[in-house]
Amino acid sequence: MTRDALADTRLPADPIAPPIAHARFSIGDVVRHRMLDFRGVIFDVDPVFANSEEWYQSIPETLRPAKDQPFYHLLAENLESSYVAYVSQQNLEHDDSDEPVDHPAIAGLFDRFDGGRYGLKRLHRH
């Protein structure tokens, strides 16, 4: 079969597939929530929603984000506590305070804080 014949057998692009969103943030970035009063450091990224439907439905409908965007796992803090958060890209922005995040799990994943972001320990890099 010739190269031109092979080209004719390819399927056209799927016209109903959702557009692919690109992650705006990276592991180690310090971010803050746009609407809620907390900030954190990103330690994992899902290209699209990957949590339970029960968790998703627990978000008030007026605040519920679209599933077809990156979601970020954060070591988060607010004035009262530290915890793990799962946040959609649309609800995050870079934190420009240049202050480190106060979370007990940071030392296990990251080895330095510089320029508003954390460096991942060599042990956890792929």
Whether residue 2 is predicted with pLDDT greater than 70 in this model: the reply is no
SS3 87: strand
pLDDT of residue 126: 57
Token pair 């946040």 is found at: 87
Predicted confidence (pLDDT) per residue in 49-64, tens digit: 999 999 999 999 988 9
CATH number (domain holding residue 24): 2.30.30.390
Rounded to 5 degrees, φ, ψ at 114 are -150, 130
Q: Please report whether residue 38 resides in a domain.
A: yes
Predicted confidence (pLDDT) per residue in 17-50, tens digit: 556 679 999 999 999 999 999 999 999 999 999 9
Q: Please report whether residue 30 resides in a domain.
A: yes
Q: Please report whether residue 6 resides in a domain.
A: no
Q: Please report whether residue 47 resides in a domain.
A: yes
pLDDT of residue 21: 73
Which pTM value belongs to this model?
0.81
Longest CA pairwise span in the chain (Å): 67
Domain range spanning residue 42? Answer: 19-124
What DSSP element (H or E) covers 55? helix 53-57
Residue 115: band (very low, low, confident or very high) from pLDDT cuts 50, 70, 90: confident
SS3 92: strand
Number of domains in the chain: 1
Q: Please report whether residue 82 resides in a domain.
A: yes
From first CA to last CA, the distance across the chain in angstroms is 40
Q: Please report whether residue 7 resides in a domain.
A: no
